[in-house]
Amino acid sequence: MRYFRRRIGYIVALVLLASTARSQSPVPDHVVSVPVANMYSSAAEESDVVSQAILGTNIVTIEARGDWVKIRTPDGYGGWACSAMLRPLRDSRPYAVSASSVQVQSLFANLYRETDVTAHKPVMTIPFESRLEIVAEGSGNDAGWIKVRLPDEATAWIQIGDVTREPKRLTIAESIALAKRFLGIPYLWGGRSSFGYDCSGFTQMLVRQRGNTMPRDAELQAAWDGVVAIERKDVQPGDLLFFGSSPTNITHTGMFIGGGEFIHDTTHEHPVVQISRMDDEPWTRILVACRRVK
């Protein structure tokens, strides 16, 4: 059942990409203003969540319907989001893409109204990879803090240790170390943030940290022109593993980390990011494809 729900999201994505290709100016016009915005298969919360977009993501709007907007994220994926979770880009400028911006490097980060973690509860908690625009640098008693402007024009403070100014492209070894930081993070269907990933959202994030924008869904990742097919006996750390009933029916993915093990976000037995062995059941039986990122 979950595979077919994902297929619905895949079809929605193809339709949105086609409509975007026909538009005159397929450039971002809105930005996500909440920690995590769900993207649905249709304009209703009762429909399936097909993906997510996190705070600071610049998105393209395709169609509006009441309180809902059909959107496309930078990875080319599409779905419906509640319009209250988005803000128009100020002066049509993309949000938080200049040098005066930071990206969250902690798994979670709190934003505060002042430079004190005890005075009030956080304004909000935001996930890994969230983008923020810098307003001012803290000094004196505020040293160690950065004042940021949020997409809704409000301001807040964040601690320097939670962010990085220049996210670097990770090596394979560094991406494996990063993956292990997420061990125990819960599985979430359609999830694409450190609040909860699904399998393909997790591997997509890991490959993105290596400087590559990979498709959203596992079957598209396996067919992506940014990877090459390899034999199971030749897998190396950083290679992607794909599972399913056949090479044309891929329903799960993970990343090989060496020593016969791979890391993945799965609902199998314990629904969290976990490490499994390739030779264990059911994985050894349903491994149908191996890929190496070019």
The vertex-260 CA angle with 255 and 266, nearest 5°, equals: 45
Q: Write the pLDDT tens digit of every residue in 239-266.
A: 999 999 999 999 999 999 999 999 999 9
Cis peptide before 35 (omega within 30 of 0): no
The DSSP call for residue 168 is P
Partner residues linked to 102 by β-bridges: 132
d(CA 158, CA 165): 13
* Cβ atoms of residues 239 and 291 within 8 Å: yes
d(CA 249, CA 241): 14
d(CA 179, CA 37): 23
Predicted confidence (pLDDT) at residue 147 exceeds the cutoff of 90: yes
Domain 7-92, second-level architecture: Roll (2.30)
Reading the block at residue 98, the tokens are 């200049």
> Which pLDDT band holds residue 90 (cuts at 50, 70, 90)?
confident
The reply to whether 101-164 shares the fold of 7-92 is yes
CATH 3.90.1720.10, domain 172-293, yes or no:
yes
Query: What fold is seen in the domain 101-164?
Result: SH3 type barrels. (2.30.30)
Give residue 9's pLDDT.
52
The vertex-48 CA angle with 35 and 245, nearest 5°, equals: 110
**Beta carbons within 8 Å of 124's beta carbon, 6+ residues apart:** 34, 35, 110, 111, 156
Q: Write the pLDDT tens digit of every residue in 168-187.
A: 999 999 999 999 999 999 99
> So where are the chain's domains?
7-92, 101-164, 172-293
In 247-294, DSSP assigns E strands to 249-258, 261-266, 272-277, 287-293
What does the longest C-alpha to C-alpha distance in the chain come to? 61
Q: Write the pLDDT tens digit of every residue in 38-83.
A: 999 999 999 999 999 999 999 999 999 999 999 999 999 999 999 9
Q: Write the pLDDT tens digit of every residue in 259-291.
A: 999 999 999 999 999 999 999 999 999 999 999
- Give me the chain's average pLDDT, please: 92
pTM over 0.75: yes
